[in-house]
Amino acid sequence: MLRTASYYLSAATLAVSLAGGANAQSWSDQPVNPDKVDVDVAVAYEEGGRYYNEDDIPTYNVADDGTVDWLTFSGFRRYHAECHVCHGPDGEGSTYAPKIKNSAVHMDYYAFYDVVVNGRENGNSVMPHFGDNPNVMCYLDDIYVYLKARGMEAVPRGRPGKKEAKSEMIQEAEDACMG
Ligand code: HEC
């Protein structure tokens, strides 16, 4: 976990050099009470190892024994490769960037996508755009469901222990996306 340690360090450095950059965030500041929050995370159907709610929005699936769906596991890894440096470990936020595990619960799926694709600027507080970065775009559903699972406290902090196998359909989509 040396790599993780270096991320912590760089996040700390960023926080120091850009102190004061964290402005009040509409969504990430809203606490989440998983028992009360009015978001539909229930699995309505599964397709090739991906899970969706009734409105065809990607969602997570956590079995009774803690086994997570592939996307949630993959999202954990992708999040910590691309977003962690600013948004902190496990989506918990930092002094510099918002607690996006909450944002993933409160924000509309398409609004979440929009911010990541196009970025957002609020004075000194800058969210980069990732629309041209396949390492993010090919895995954005993964990152989204992982953060949503974190926000809803469906998965604990840290690396998920047990995971479903990666389906052929997910592998094919990944190959096509990464080119
Ligand atoms: C260089 C630092 C940085 C990186 C890397 C970064 N972000 Fe951000 N992000 C920010 C900042 C700062 C904001 C707040 C922008 C503002 O004030 O409007 C933000 C805002 C957001 C928001 C909006 C949150 C809300 O509650 O409105 C989402 C969603 C988001 N980021 C997702 C991501 C994802 C997903 C990744 C990884 C693919 C990522 N970010 C990587 C700095 C970063």
Average pLDDT over residues 132-158: 97
Confidence at 131, pLDDT banded by 50, 70, 90: very high
CB 139 within 8 A of CB 78: yes
| Nearest-CA residue for atom 41 of ligand 1 | 83
Average pLDDT over residues 111-125: 96
Between the CA of 27 and the centroid of ligand 1 the distance, in Å, is: 12
Average pLDDT over residues 167-171: 98
At residue 157, what is the residue type? Answer: R
Q: How far apart are the first and last CA of the chain?
A: 30
Between the CA of 168 and the centroid of ligand 1 the distance, in Å, is: 31
Angle of CA points 105, 86, 35, to nearest 5° = 20
pTM: 0.88
The 8-class DSSP code of residue 129 comes to P
With 90 as the cut, is the pLDDT of residue 76 above it? yes
Strand 120-122 to 125-127 pairing: antiparallel
6 lines ligand 1 (CB under 6 A): no
Residue 4 is predicted with a pLDDT of 47
Task: Give, for ligand 1, the residue of 13, 87, 108, 144 to mutate: max count of ligand atoms closer than 8 Å to Cβ.
Answer: 87
How far apart (Å, rounded) are the C-alpha atoms in residues 12 and 85?
A: 9
Spell out the alpha helix ranges (H) of 28-139: 70-82, 84-87, 100-106, 109-118, 134-137
Confidence at 26, pLDDT banded by 50, 70, 90: low
Confidence at 6, pLDDT banded by 50, 70, 90: very low
Between the CA of 115 and the centroid of ligand 1 the distance, in Å, is: 7
With 60 as the cut, is the pLDDT of residue 23 above it? no
How far apart (Å, rounded) are the C-alpha atoms in residues 12 and 18?
A: 10
Atom of ligand 1 nearest to the CA of 120: 18
Residue 35 is predicted with a pLDDT of 80
Confidence at 32, pLDDT banded by 50, 70, 90: confident
Residue 153 is predicted with a pLDDT of 96
With 70 as the cut, is the pLDDT of residue 48 above it? yes
119 lines ligand 1 (CB under 6 A): no
